[in-house]
Each structure stands twice: as C-alpha cells, then as structure tokens.
Chain A
Amino acid sequence: MPAGTTYTTIESQTLASTASTVTFSSIPSTYTDLRLVCSFNSSAYAVGGLQFNGVTSGYSATLVYAPSSTRVTGQGKIPFQQGYGPITEASAFQICTVDIFSYKSTSVNKAVQWQTGNPTTTGYPGNEWGCGLFPSTAAITSVTIDSGGTNIFQSGSTFSLYGIAAA
C-alpha cells in the first residue's frame, strides 16, 4: 500500500545579486534522501562543488565527461570540474542536479551523485556526471554550493532543495 506523496520542497533560493556560495542550513531530518536542483549563470570558469556541515576536507569523487574520467581524493569539497558558465551568455543558464542518499543516517557515509550540463557555445561547454563520497556518518544538516571563486554565481540563479521520504 502506498504511503503517500513525497518529493517536498524544503527551500528555494533565487539570487538577487552575485554570490560566492549558496547554503541551505537547518535541513530537517524528516526525509530519506535530498535532491538539489540548480540553474545558474556564472561570471567565469571555476571548479565549483559541494560541502556538507561546514566540513572542508576529506571528500572524494569520480567524474565522467566523455571521453574521460577523473578521480580525486582528499578534496575540500566534492568538485564539479566540467565548467561553470556560460561566461559570456547572460541569458543562458547551466543546470545541475544532485542526489544525496540517506543524508540523516548515522550508520552510513554519505553517497552523492550529480549531473551537470553547461550549454555555452563559448568557454567550457560540456556535460558531466559523477559520484562523490562525504566520509562521515554524521547526519547532514547543511549543504553549501561553492561557486569556486568570488561572486561567480550571477543574479537570477536558482537553487532548490527537495526532500524525498521513503515509506
């Protein structure tokens, strides 16, 4: 028997001005997974990424962007290497979705998946997906999206956090 509808908006942020980072804090523990949906314009190419609970070390990730794949460990964040942009196309936005599994479980390290696409015709176009590890069994209570530089996220960029509750 189905338990009811889920996939709830926890918080949505739209930038009124430029920003270096965007943070969702005080995330409730009422869900099973988290999903982050971002649509953003960037002023410059940078390697952005994710941080949890304010932790700035110990992340690892595997990135895939045809025809290559890269592995990184001991990172200060889970990095998205495949271009933040578009750089010169003000009305074009890049989409990124991130899934964070079992975010409140104190029995498992935190597994993350993401997919991002940069549609620019100049700069660094590309599509990337990957998986990351936040090697902590602490419940995730905050998520920070790092632009990779100073005020790289541009006005009008949106960031939405959803909660998915399993039966």
Chain B
Amino acid sequence: MSPIVSTLAGASARGYGGLGASVASAAVGAYESIATVTVGASTAASIAFTSIPSTYQHLQIRGILRGTPTYPDGEYGFVRINGDASSIYSATYQGGNGTVAFSGAFGGTTSSWVISQIGTTNGDLANTFGGNIWDFLDYKDTNKNRTMRGWLANGRQTTGTAGLAAGSYRSTSAITSIEVLPGGGSGWLQYSTLALYGIKG
C-alpha cells in the first residue's frame, strides 16, 4: 500500500438531501466523509478502506479509476469485503457501451464482488477516468446478508460504457473493510481516487 496516499481532513457542510430532496430538508448533516485514498505516482495494487466505523446506517464510495490493461470496454474490478476471499459473492449488472445494451450475472463462485467497466485504461485518452458510485446498505446489520449497489461508468472518449450493478455478499458480518482490486493488469494508476462516506439513518 505504500504508493497510496491516504488523507483525512476537515469538511464542513449542511446535510444530505438525496434524490429530489428540497433545500429545506437538507438542513441536518447525515452524510459524512470518512476517508479518501488517492493513488500517487506509483501504480497501486488495490485501494482499501480499513477500520470502517460502525456509526452509520449505510456507506457510499465515490470516485474515479483508471487501470493498466487495454480491454475493449475498459477496466473492470473486484470488491472484497472484510478480506474474505471465499466464494460467497454474486452480482448482476446491466448497461450499454454505445452500441448495444447488455446484462448479465456472476454466480456465487467468485472470491469477491465483480464489477464491470469501472475504469478507463492506459489505452484511453490521457487523464481520463471512470466515475463510480457504490452504496453498501445496512452494512452493520448482523441480521442481513450484505447488499451492494453500483452505478458505474468509464466515460472513455471513444467507447464509453455506463452500467448499473447489484451485488450480494452472503455474510451477516458487519463490514469493517472494503478493498477494490483491478480486474487485470498491474493496478490503479495515478490520480485514481476513491472516497468513503457514511450515511446516518
């Protein structure tokens, strides 16, 4: 993890409104920045958030990614929860690549949640990254398996892909760490950034 620069800094604000919320309803702060990881000059093998506090209802990760391989539809990746590499993850997705709309699923045989087209690659326009927003709902409720939702896009100049995904991690353990690994190549490139937020109930 040495190439990764992790920062914690102050942030002021008023509140979390959500879809369609009015300005008035956004008066109480319920959306907090927890931590940010930005890849430095050296490629990072993964991006990880550890020691996630249990003081929220939901978690959200937002950020931009760029990987090293030259896959036709951009870089994909894996999300691993609590360092658990057992085969209890699954995911479904749908999206489009500018030519066709597509959908698919990954069964419960993977060692992490597979998410497609989350990053641009070295073959894309320089300085161009894929935008991502992932929600981890009820992440600390030990009565439920963990459910995730992703909104992902790689916004490449010539063949951008946009998609939606849902994933399941079949464990009732509270999430205390989240690691995002690249699907191929050597890792995440400089300026790739993911920020973790907590949303209060």
Which residues of A are at the interface with B, using a C-beta cutoff of 8 A? Answer: 1-9, 12, 32-33, 37, 39, 60-64, 66-71, 73, 95, 97, 99, 101-102, 105, 107-109, 111-113, 115, 129-133, 135, 137, 160, 162-167
Which residues of B are at the interface with A, using a C-beta cutoff of 8 A? Answer: 7-17, 19-21, 23, 26, 29-36, 53, 55, 62-64, 94-101, 125, 127-131, 133, 151, 153-164, 191, 193, 195, 197-198
C-alpha gap A105/B153 in the complex (Å): 19
- Indicate if the CB atoms of A71 and B101 lie closer than 8 Å: no
Q: Looking at A6, A60, A135, A137, which has the most chain B CB atoms within 10 Å of its CB?
A: A6
Contact partners of B129 in chain A: CB under 8 A: 101-102, 108-109, 111
C-alpha gap A33/B157 in the complex (Å): 21
Interface of A is mostly: strand
A-B contact count (CB 8 A): 208
With contacts A7-B26, A61-B160, A73-B157 taken as known, whether A2 is within 8 angstroms of B17 at the C-beta atoms is: no
- Indicate if the CB atoms of A5 and B19 lie closer than 8 Å: no
With contacts A5-B29, A9-B23, A166-B33 taken as known, whether A102 is within 8 angstroms of B164 at the C-beta atoms is: no
Contact partners of B29 in chain A: CB under 8 A: 4-7
- Indicate if the CB atoms of B162 and A64 lie closer than 8 Å: yes
- Indicate if the CB atoms of A7 and B127 lie closer than 8 Å: no
With contacts A3-B10, A133-B160 taken as known, whether A167 is within 8 angstroms of B127 at the C-beta atoms is: no
Could you write out 22 A-B pairs with CB less than 8 Å apart? A1-B53, A7-B14, A7-B29, A12-B23, A64-B96, A66-B94, A66-B101, A69-B97, A71-B99, A71-B160, A95-B20, A101-B129, A107-B191, A111-B128, A111-B153, A111-B155, A112-B131, A131-B155, A132-B160, A133-B160, A164-B197, A167-B33
